[in-house]
Amino acid sequence: MTPAQHVEAWLGRLAGERKASSHTVDGYRRDLGKLLRYMETQQVEDFARLDSNRMRSFIAAEHRGGLSPKSLQRLLSSCRSLFGQLNREGVIDHDPAAGVRGPKVHRKLPQVLDVDEATALVETDVGGTLAVRDRAMLELFYSSGLRLSELVGLRWIDLNFDDGEVRVLGKGSKTRIVPVGRHAIAALRDLASAEGNRPETPIFRGRGGAPISPRTVQARLKHLALAGGSARHVHPHLLRHTFASHMLESSGDLRAVQELLGHADIATTQIYTHLDFQHLAKVYDAAHPRAKKR
C-alpha cells in the first residue's frame, strides 16, 4: 500500500470502528494530507523510511509556514495516531514522532458569565412566538452544560421529566445521562405544552418540524443577549463554560464536573480549576489589605 492508501485505511477505521464524527475525520485528513505532501517533496516513498529527524524538519517547516502552536500540536497528535496504527499492523517498527515536540501552547482561559449575568440572560424574554422555545434552550444550556450539537440532537424521548434527567449523545457517539435543574424542567414543560412532545420528535424544532439548526441557536443566543443589554459575546459554548465554572466553584468536585461535561480526559476539565483560582485571586486582590493598590 502507498502512504496515501494507509492514511485512507486509517481514516476509514476512525469513522467505522471508533465512531469518530465527520468533523474529526476531516481534521485528521487535513493534518495527514500535510504529512503526505511533505513526504512527497522529500521523496520519502513509505512510512518505514520516515524518522524523527524528518518529522522535526516537517514540523519546523509547518511552523515557518505560519501554523500556530495549537495547530502544530494537533498535527503531531494526528501523526502519532496514524503511526500507532501502522506499528500495530507491522507496517513500521518504530515511532517516527518519538521525541518530536511542537512549540508550547499557551492555553487561553475560557470566558464565563458570573451568576448574575447568567441569571439575567436565561430570564431574558423578548416576547413573540419563539419566547417559550428560547427560554427552554437557555435554561437547558445553563442547567446541564450541553454542547451545541448535543442540544440540537435532543428528542422528547431523551428527556425524563420525573427524574429531572436528559440522555445526550456526545462526542464519539458516547451517551451520558445529565441532570436537569428545576427551572429548566419547568421551561421544558412549558415548551411541551405549547408545541407538543411526541417521543420521537425533536425538542427544539426549526422550520418544518426538523431539528433546529446550530446556526439558528447561535443567532438566537446572540439576539437574546443584545436584547437583554449584555455587552458580552454570548454563544453556546460560553454557557457550557459558565455551567462548568459555577459547578466547580460550588462543589469543588472535578471528577463530577468531568462526568457532567462528558470529557474523556480530566486534563480537559482542569482548565476550570484555573478559572476558579483566577476568581479567588481577584477576590484576594480586592479584599486583602496588603494586596490593595494604593
Q: Which of 237, 274, 282, 284 is catalytic?
A: 237
Domain boundaries, the chain: 3-88, 115-284
What distance in Å separates the CA atoms of residue 69 and residue 54, rounded to the nearest whole number?
A: 19
In this structure, whether the domain defined by 3-88 belongs to CATH 1.10.150 is answered with yes
Buried/exposed 246-280: b ≥16 CB within 10 Å, e otherwise: bbbeeeeebeebbebbbbeeeeebeebeebeeeee
Buried/exposed 212-228: b ≥16 CB within 10 Å, e otherwise: beeeebeebbeebbeeb
Q: Active-site residue 171, yes or no?
A: yes
Burial of 155 (0-12, 13-18, 19+ CB in 10 A): middle
Q: Active-site residue 189, yes or no?
A: no
With contact defined as beta carbons under 8 Å apart, do 72 and 102 qualify? yes
Cell numbers representing residue 99 in the block: 521525541
Q: Which of 29, 63, 94, 171 is catalytic?
A: 171
In this structure, whether the domain defined by 115-284 belongs to CATH 1.10.443.10 is answered with yes
Q: Active-site residue 237, yes or no?
A: yes
Distant-in-sequence, close-in-space partners of 59: CB < 8 Å, separation ≥ 6: 72, 75, 76, 100, 102
For residue 252, what pLDDT is reported? 77
HSE-up of residue 204 (Cα within 13 Å, Cβ side): 26
pTM of the predicted model as reported, rounded to 2 decimal places: 0.63
Q: Active-site residue 263, yes or no?
A: yes
Residue 73, sorted as left (phi over 0), alpha (psi -120 to 50) or beta, turns out to be alpha
Q: Active-site residue 183, yes or no?
A: no
What distance in Å separates the CA atoms of residue 212 and residue 227, rounded to the nearest whole number?
A: 21
What distance in Å separates the CA atoms of residue 180 and residue 199, rounded to the nearest whole number?
A: 18
Per-residue pLDDT of the chain (294 residues; tens, 9 = 90+): 899 999 999 999 988 887 788 888 999 999 999 999 999 999 999 999 999 999 999 999 999 999 888 899 999 999 999 999 999 999 999 999 998 887 776 666 678 888 888 999 988 888 888 999 999 999 999 999 999 999 999 999 999 999 999 999 988 788 999 999 999 999 999 999 999 999 999 999 988 889 999 999 999 999 999 988 887 889 999 999 998 888 887 777 888 888 888 887 777 777 776 655 555 455 546 654 545 555
For residue 287, what pLDDT is reported? 55
